[in-house]
Chains A and B, each alone.
Chain A
Amino acid sequence: MIAPRWRKVLRDIGEAPVRSSLAVVAMAAGVFGLGTILTSYSILTRELEKTFADTRPASAILIVDNADDAVVASVRAVPGVLDAEARPIVRARVRVGKDEWAPLVLFVVPDFRDLRIDRFSRTEGAGPPGDDEVALERTALSVARAAIGDRITMRTADGVERPMRVAGTVHAAGLAPAWMDHVVSGFVTRRLASHIDAQAMSNQVRIIVKGNRLDERHIRDVADRVRKSLEAEGHKVTPVDVPAPGRHPHADQMDTFLFLLGAFGALTLVLSAVLVANMIHALLTEQVRQVGVMKAIGATTRQVVALYLGQVAILAVLSLCIGMPLAFSAGRGYGQFTASILNATISTAAVPLWVIATQIAVGIALPLLVALLPVYRASRITIHQAFSNDISGRAFGTRPFDRWLARLRLLPRPLMLSLRTTFHRRGRLVLAVSTLAVGGAAFISALNVSAEWTRIIAEDAVARRYDVYAVFSRPYPIAQIAAAVDKLSNITHAEYWSESAAIVAGPNGRETRIALVGLDPNTPLLRLPLLEGRWLNASDSDAVVINQNLLADAPWLHAGNRIALRVNGRPVSWNVVGVVKEMGAHQAVYANSADALRATGQAGDTARSVRVVTRAHDAKSQLAASRELERALQRDGIGVLLMQSLADGRKAFEDHLVIIKSALIFAAALVVLVGGLGLTSTLTLNVIERTRELGILGAIGATPRALSRYIVFEGVLMGLLSWCIAIVLAVPVTYFIGTVAGRMFHKTGLDFLMSPQAVITWFALVIILATLSSFYPAWRATRLSVREALAYA
């Protein structure tokens, strides 16, 4: 038999279905918000890690003059090497339209039936590709604008074209999705590769080390041993690339995404805590007299505390029953969506036990924790206070603010009453307003960070004042390139820059491959924003400017320090005079053209790339210009490695941001949902609390319509107050999220941006939410009879 006091708890819940449901819904909203984020977070981290680990990612990649079976056998025999596989790469382009080519990377696979490193799996089509076929990465079909069975045309930098049939698709989880990088990846046989110009081939040998595969120093030691061994055998080994151990190529995006999920998860938790505190505050306000009665008949403070904590626990369990299953579904759905963006596969969407345990623990412990103080306070109330209704603390008019408010004559008297009542019950006001303010801050911050990413893209567009650029297979005489370009009427300006790969040697033998760009320091085509120091001068002869991506990887390279590079095997050292910020993940060093050419050993009148300005600057004109340029260069025998319009480059960066923006939109939507529910429940509870007051207003002549107007007025007033606080709160939240997310993805903190659009959107939303949330409470108020309201204890 249940003790009467516990029966009281159960009946109190059942007797006030509206209040109990609101409390459960508010708590469930918190559980849902946190649970959705935890579920998607846990599934994604586990599945992405597993998907990537299943590919057996290479510990290190060596580029050797020859990657035949003998070399691989020799590498496998080096102590510390667990396995090795040749995986030469062909960089070419694939036709995607008339005079339109997309970058193509072909991986040459020695044996499709014995994949050892960087494995992939067949998804569609027949077995391994034949000798005139290619298996495309599953995400590459759309970028290649091809279907299985189609014949596609590949063009190498020397201009030779070769048709291939698309045999099928494979899933290479270690590769970024093609639509994101705008690069088509495919896998071909050795026999097909043997027909391709050796210049286009990079003879990669991939190794997996024995021992700790996550220890970069150990990997470098083994890779160095392999390099020395191959060199001893007379092979030439160019850079050793050690990908960050255990990190997916898009790990930065994943980290940023997961951080955003975590940050907004924490905000949802805070929001949920405030909501719960609000519920409990309202619940206890209604129960004060009963606390007095129970104490009068012998209940101790501890017993009363236990009673109300028990009630909170029951409501919390109910909210878990509703919130958890919904959170699992939403979290799984969002996880699937994100995995598809990252080219991963969710093999099992099982929710880990720790997520369930955390949700249960937080879902029950948080309400109890938040309730502890108010419950204890309410339980400490004396019987005398409980019966004398002396629980509101100070009377209205005892504070200077109250007196100031009382002197205000701006509004009609009934609305002034609402205003004063709102400010009189400060505990309730603070809780209601902070619920919405936390929600608002999260919403505004999400939109601010999103707007800052958009601004970065726009800023980069302003910084790069060219429309199309082409990179050649080798340096060509500027006169030859200019002869081709000058024939094109749509091009108003062209510049010829040198570009070459270089290596920055860091501590512990770590080498970073970067692009060395030689240009006219007075070029009107590039105005990148400076983070440190200055841009190049025409008089500089020993100066370079680096970008923020390189600084992040080589943090000793601040302005004023010297940078040591290896260009074509030759050492060169320059003074870093500035650091610029630019879009994208590439690491670059900018130098005066003459210096760069000298370092590479190229002739002074040659260039490796061209940047052109077209008459019109829209995407369509840029595409047309790139086609024209393609034809012209092809006609004049200039091998093109890459041709890209600026619109296309911007699109690629935007596509990298899809996942981050999706996280921000997801978080903002979640916050609106939880905040909206919170406001509805808060306003309804306010009406319940003020039943007697509304009865008195009714008794002295307020019509139901007038009463509902006061309720809506109060709701909107609270909404407006919360909006002001949300803007202030959004400043540190935006700054924190922008700094951390920016460093993860953009290698430098995002600039603080308070987006007017975010502020206005939240203003509109909060007014709509407040008005909508007031409807039910207002309707309830109009349904009260004066007699019922006055009898309400």
Chain B
Amino acid sequence: MISLRRLTKTYETAAGSFTALRDIELEIGGGEFVAIVGKSGSGKSTLLNMVGGIDRPSSGSVTVGGTPIQELNHNRLAAWRGRTVGFVFQFFQLLPTLTVAENVMLPMDFCGTVPAGQRLTRALDLLHRVDVGEQAGKLPSELSGGQQQRVAIARALANDPPLILADEPTGNLDSATGAAIFQLFGELARDGKTVVVVTHERDAAPALSRTVTIVDGRVA
């Protein structure tokens, strides 16, 4: 599913150049639930951004589902991302002015993957699946952190992408809620989704297929 070859990412900053990732070689198969762990600043979030096409490599290649994504232009990358990747962020990043259901419908709206008449039904199905169906008509601000993260997962599933990427999804939640979220990711992996989660080691869950540790920009 995911193939990283000699992946390097260097940032130019006012203080000089900084290499976040060096010669990463990594293979992740379909349906795997992989945790990327490492200390702060190790480069794990950068790695996730490369896989999701949020950032571009300085050198090397990123192939996802057979698509070399570094070769896609801006617009094709956006379209590819909409259909292939579902993102979950640490701070949920729900749009504050849309209701929970509308937040979930938004990706379908952008990508046109689901006929307009069926979008609400699908959104409600997904919300029920992540146990927040009752909250569909509420605004994000009315939900708890755990509920918001479940909505974010439902949104990530909106276009039925084969790949779910989550950047410290439990970093802003208490441990019980975090465990429930990891359990939800495990269920998704069992359903055939490839799930890649950036997390600290303490978050490691039993449902994980494996753990990839990043130290100073390299796979340890």
Give A contacts to B, CB under 8 Å.
1, 3-5, 7-8, 11-12, 14-15, 289-290, 292-303, 380, 382-384, 387, 394-395, 397-398
Interchain CB contact under 8 A, B55 and A5: no
- Residue B205 CB within 8 A of the other chain: no
Q: Residue-by-residue, is B153-182 near A (CB-CB < 8 Å gives 1, otherwise 0)?
A: 001101100000000000000000000000
Cβ-defined contact, A4 with B109, below 8 A: yes
- Mind listing 27 A-B residue pairs with CB under 8 Å? A1-B116, A5-B109, A7-B98, A8-B97, A8-B98, A11-B98, A15-B96, A293-B94, A293-B95, A296-B87, A296-B93, A297-B82, A297-B107, A297-B156, A297-B158, A298-B81, A298-B82, A298-B83, A298-B159, A300-B78, A300-B82, A301-B74, A301-B78, A303-B110, A383-B55, A384-B54, A387-B54
Closest beta carbon of chain A to B6's beta carbon, Å: 21
Roughly how many angstroms separate A5 CA and B82 CA in the complex, as a whole number? 15
Please name all residues of chain B whose beta carbon is closer than 8 Å to the beta carbon of A301 when the two chains form the complex: 74-75, 78
Residues of A within 8 A of B116 (CB): 1, 3
Contact of B106 (CB < 8 Å), options: A14, A297, A383, A397: A297
Q: Please tell me if the beta carbons of A296 and B81 are within 8 angstroms of each other in the complex.
A: yes
Q: How far is the CA of A78 from the CA of B95 in the complex (A)?
A: 84
Q: How large is the interface on B (under 10, 10 to 19, 20 to 34, 35 or more residues)?
A: 20 to 34
6 residue pairs, one from A and one from B, having the closest CB atoms: A298-B82, A11-B97, A4-B102, A297-B107, A383-B54, A300-B78
Of all chain A residues, which has the CB nearest B120? A1
Structural contact, B87 and A294, CB atoms closer than 8 A? no
Residue of chain A at shortest CB distance from B112: A298
The answer, yes or no, to whether B220 is at the interface (CB within 8 Å) is no
User: In this complex, what residue of A is CB-closest to B119?
Assistant: A4
B93's partner among A3, A289, A299 (CB-CB below 8 A) is A289
For B159, the closest partner residue in chain A by CB is A298
Contact A382 B55 (CB under 8 A): yes
Q: A7's closest neighbor in chain B, by CB?
A: B102
Are B78 and A299 in touch, CB under 8 angstroms?
yes
Q: Which residues of A contact B54 (CB under 8 A)?
A: 296, 382-384, 387
Interfacial chain A residues near B86, Cβ < 8 Å = 297
Shortest Cβ distance from residue A474 to the other chain B in the assembled complex, whole angstroms? 87
Tell which of A12, A290, A297, A394 touches B110, judged by Cβ atoms closer than 8 Å.
Answer: A297
Q: How far in angstroms is the closest Cβ of chain B from A406?
A: 14
CA distance A347 to B31 in the complex (A): 81
Q: Which chain B residues lie closer than 8 Å to A395 at the CB level?
A: 14
B106 touches A5 (CB 8 A): yes
Chain B positions within 8 Å of A8 at CB level? 95, 97-98, 102, 106
Q: A4-B109, A293-B89, A300-B110 are in contact. List 20 more A-B contacts (CB 8 A).
A: A5-B106, A7-B98, A8-B98, A8-B106, A293-B95, A297-B106, A297-B110, A297-B156, A298-B81, A298-B110, A298-B159, A300-B75, A300-B78, A300-B79, A301-B74, A383-B55, A384-B55, A395-B14, A397-B14, A398-B14
Looking across the interface, which residue of chain B has its beta carbon closest to that of A296?
B87
| Least CB separation from B91: chain A residue | A793
Instruction: Name the one of B83, B96, B110, B158 contacting A299, with C-beta atoms under 8 angstroms.
Output: B110
Whether A298 pairs with B111 at a CB distance below 8 angstroms is: yes
Residue from A15, A292, A300, A380 within 8 A of B97 (CB atoms): A15
For the complex, give the distance between the alpha carbons of A7 and B106 in Å: 10
**CB within 8 Å of A: which B61-78 residues:** 74-75, 78
Closest residue of B by beta carbon distance from A307: B110
**Chain B residues within an 8 Å CB radius of A383:** 49, 54-55
**B residues whose Cβ falls under 8 Å from a Cβ of A:** 14, 49, 52, 54-55, 74-75, 78-79, 81-83, 86-87, 89, 93-98, 102-103, 105-107, 109-111, 116, 155-156, 158-159
Chain B residue contacts of A12, Cβ below 8 A: 97
Q: How far is the CB of B171 from chain A (nearest CB, A)?
A: 14
Whether the Cβ atoms of B78 and A293 lie closer than 8 Å is no
CB distance from A653 to the nearest CB of B (A): 62
A299 to B79, alpha carbons, bound, how many Å?
Answer: 7
Which of chain B's residues have a CB closer than 8 A to the CB of A384? 49, 54-55
Q: Does the CB pair B74–A5 fall under 8 Å?
A: no
Chain A residue contacts of B14, Cβ below 8 A: 394-395, 397-398
**What's the minimum C-beta distance from B212 to chain A, rounded to whole angstroms?**
21
- Chain A CB within 10 Å, residue with most, of B96, B116, B158: B96
Rounded to whole angstroms, the CA-CA distance of A295 and B49 in the bound complex is 13
The winner among A295, A297, A394 for most chain B CB atoms within 10 A is A297
Q: What A residues does B159 contact at CB under 8 A?
A: 298
Q: A11-B97, A289-B93, A395-B14 are in contact. Are A294 and B106 (CB under 8 A)?
A: yes
Residues from chain B with a CB closer than 8 A to the CB of A298 are 78-79, 81-83, 107, 110-111, 159
User: Chain A residues near B158 (CB, 8 Å)?
Assistant: 297
- Chain A residue contacts of B75, Cβ below 8 A: 300-302
Instruction: Indicate if the CB atoms of B110 and A294 lie closer than 8 Å.
Output: yes
Which of A3, A4, A8, A301 has the most chain B CB within a 10 Å cutoff? Answer: A4
Chain A, Cβ-Cβ closest to B94: A293
Bound-complex Cα distance A383 to B54 (A): 6
The smallest C-beta distance from A398 to any residue of chain B, in angstroms, reads 5
A646 CB to closest chain B CB (Å) equals 70
Residues from chain B with Cβ under 8 Å of A380 in the complex? 74
The CA-CA distance from A4 to B123 in the complex, in Å, is 12
- Which residues of chain B are near A15, meaning CB under 8 Å? 96-97
In the complex, A5 Cα to B97 Cα: how many Å?
10
Nearest CB to that of B74 among chain A residues? A301
Q: Which residues of B contact A3 (CB under 8 A)?
A: 109, 116
Q: Which residues on the A side are within 8 Å of B155 (C-beta)? A: 297
A163 to B162, CA, bound (A): 106
User: With a CB–CB cut-off of 8 A, which chain B residues contact A297?
Assistant: 82, 86-87, 106-107, 110, 155-156, 158
> How far, in whole Å, are A394 and B75 apart by their CA atoms in the complex?
26
Note all chain B residues with C-beta closer than 8 A to A290: 95
Q: Is the CB of A5 within 8 A of B110?
A: yes
Q: Which residue from chain A places its CB closest to the CB of B155 in the assembled complex?
A: A297
Smallest CB separation, A409 vs chain B (Å) = 24
Q: Give every chain A residue within 8 A of B103 (Cβ-Cβ).
A: 4
Q: List the B residue with the shortest CB-CB distance to A5.
A: B109
A contact residues around B98 at 8 Å (CB): 4, 7-8, 11
Residue of A nearest to B167 (CB): A387
Which A residues lie within 8 Å of B83 (CB)?
A: 298
Q: Which residues of A contact B97 (CB under 8 A)?
A: 8, 11-12, 14-15
Instruction: Determine the distance from Cα of A150 to Cα of B75 in the docked complex, in whole angstroms.
Output: 85
Which residue on A lies nearest to B87, using beta carbons? A296
Chain B residue contacts of A294, Cβ below 8 A: 95, 106, 110
Point out the residues of chain A lying under 8 angstroms from B107, CB to CB: 297-298
Identity of the chain B residue whose Cβ is nearest the Cβ of A9 in the assembled complex: B97
A735-B82 Cα distance, complex, nearest whole Å = 57
Q: How far is the CB of B72 from chain A (nearest CB, A)?
A: 12
Closest CB-CB distance, A377 to chain B, in whole Å? Answer: 13
Complex Cα distance A206/B133, Å? 90
Contacts of A303 in B (CB 8 A): 110
Distance in angstroms between the alpha carbons of A4 and B105 in the assembled complex: 7
Complex CA distance for A658 and B154, rounded to whole angstroms: 70
Identity of the chain A residue whose Cβ is nearest the Cβ of B123 in the assembled complex:
A4
**Least CB separation from B161: chain A residue:** A298
Closest to B107 in A: A297
Using Cβ atoms and an 8 Å threshold, which residues of chain B touch A11? 97-98
Cα of A303 to Cα of B107 in the assembled complex, Å:
11
> In the complex, what distance in Å separates the CA atom of A571 from the CA atom of B48?
98
Residues of B within 8 A of A387 (CB): 54, 89
Interface centre among B78, B89, B105, B159 (most CB of A within 10 A): B78
* Nearest-Cβ distance from residue B40 to partner chain A, whole angstroms: 15
List of A residues within 8 angstroms of B110 by Cβ: 5, 294, 297-300, 303
Min distance, Cβ A17 to any Cβ of chain B, angstroms: 12
B149 to chain A, nearest CB (A): 14
CA distance A414 to B155 in the complex (A): 44
Q: CB distance B96 to A293 under 8 Å? A: no
